[in-house]
Structure 1
C-alpha cells in the first residue's frame, strides 16, 4: 500500500494550519512525522484518515483518490490509532477489538470463529489477553492505548496510521508496541514526539514546524543537533548508539548548559 499526498493545505476558520505539504510513503515503509507541539502533525494525519478534509491538495492511496473511496473500502485499506480515545460507550476489551473486524463484514453479519481468532491474536500481541472481559473504561490510559492498537491489528489493513502511539505507555510497552508495528511488514505513517523512538524505528522522517514541511530524509540525515535546535529550540548531543547503530539524542537543559559554560571558564583559568 502506497500513499501520496500533494500540496495539502488545511484551514480552520480562515486560518491555514497546514501549508502546501507534499509527502510520499512507499509500500512497506515506516515513515515518521516529527515536530514540536502545534507543528501540524495531527492535523496532517487527520486529513489523511479523512477526519479533516484538506482545503486544497490531493491524497492518493495506491493511486486512488482517498476521498472518493467508500468508508468501508477506506477502512479495509487503512487502520488508524488516534491520540484520543474515540470510544463513547462502555464495551468490554474483547468487543472493542472485535470492532476492527467491521470493515470485513456485511451489514448485520455476525462475528465468526475466524473473527474471534484474529481478535484474540491481536490482544495477545499487545499483552492484553487477560483483560478481554474487562470494561474498556476501567483501564488506565496506557492499557486503553494497547487495546486500540489491538483493534487496529484486528482490522488487518495494509496501511497503518498512528498518532503518537506511545503516549501514556511506559518504556517497556513503548518498545513492545513499536516492535510489533515494525514487524507487521506493512506501510506505516506515524506522528512521533520521542525522537529516539523515531531514530530507532523509522525508515524516513518528515519534519514539520508551524504547519510547514521544513525537511525530510533518513533519521541519520534529519536528527542532527543543528536541525533539532532549529525546529525544537533545544540543545542536544547526538551520537550513534554502539549496539543499535542508530542515532541517540541526549537533551541538554538550559541549567546544564549554563553549568557547562561556567565549568569551562573555570577549567581554562586565567
Structure 2
C-alpha cells in the first residue's frame, strides 16, 4: 500500500511537468489548462479560421452601412460583385446607392474589371448607373485600352459606340491604335476600322511607328461571297456589252 501511494504521489508530481511541456501549434507553451475551456469555446490548440474579405455572399439583408466598405485590397462589394459576374448583386448595390466609380488600391474601377472579364451585360449596367468611361488605372489605361489589349472585341465596340475617348494614351505613351495593332492578343480589323471611324487622329502615328501598308492590312475590308458573285455578274455583263459594241 505504501508503495502504491508512493507511485500515485510520484505521478501527481510528474503531471504538472507533462502539462508544462505541452505546446500549441504556434509554439506557445501551456503551463496549465485554461479554466475557460468548454464545449462551447474554441481551443487555442486548433487553427483559427481565416478572416475572409468582404464578399457579396457576406452581405446582410440591409447593407446600407457597408455599401462602400473596402477590403485590404481596396475593393468594394460592388467591385467584387462585378469581378465575380454577379449581375443581380451589382444591380442591387447600385440601386442602394453604392458609388460606381470607386477604385481599388491600383485605381482599377468596376468598369475596368467588367471589360477584362468580357461581361457585356455588366458593362451596360455600369454605364446605366454612371460609370466613368474614361477613368484610368495606375498604368494610365482606360477600359477601352484594357479591352484592346485583351482582345475584347465586343466590349470595345460597345465602349466606342458610347463615345469613349479614342485618342487617349497610357503612361507608356501607347495609343489605342498602337495597342489594337501591336499589343493586342488577337488583332481585329473590325476594331481598327471603328477607331478610325470614331475620330482617331492617325496623323500623329504616321511618322512614329505606323506604316500605311500595315494599316491597310487592317482597314481593308474583305468582300463577302455575295459581293464577289455580284462583282462577277457585273463583269460578265460589261464584257458582253463590249463584245456587242465591237460586232
Pick the TM interval, shorter chain: 0.3 to 0.5
TM-score, with length taken from structure 1 = 0.32
More helix as a share of residues: 2
More strand as a share of residues: 1
RCO comparison, higher one (Cα < 8 Å, 6+): 1
> Rg: which structure is higher?
2
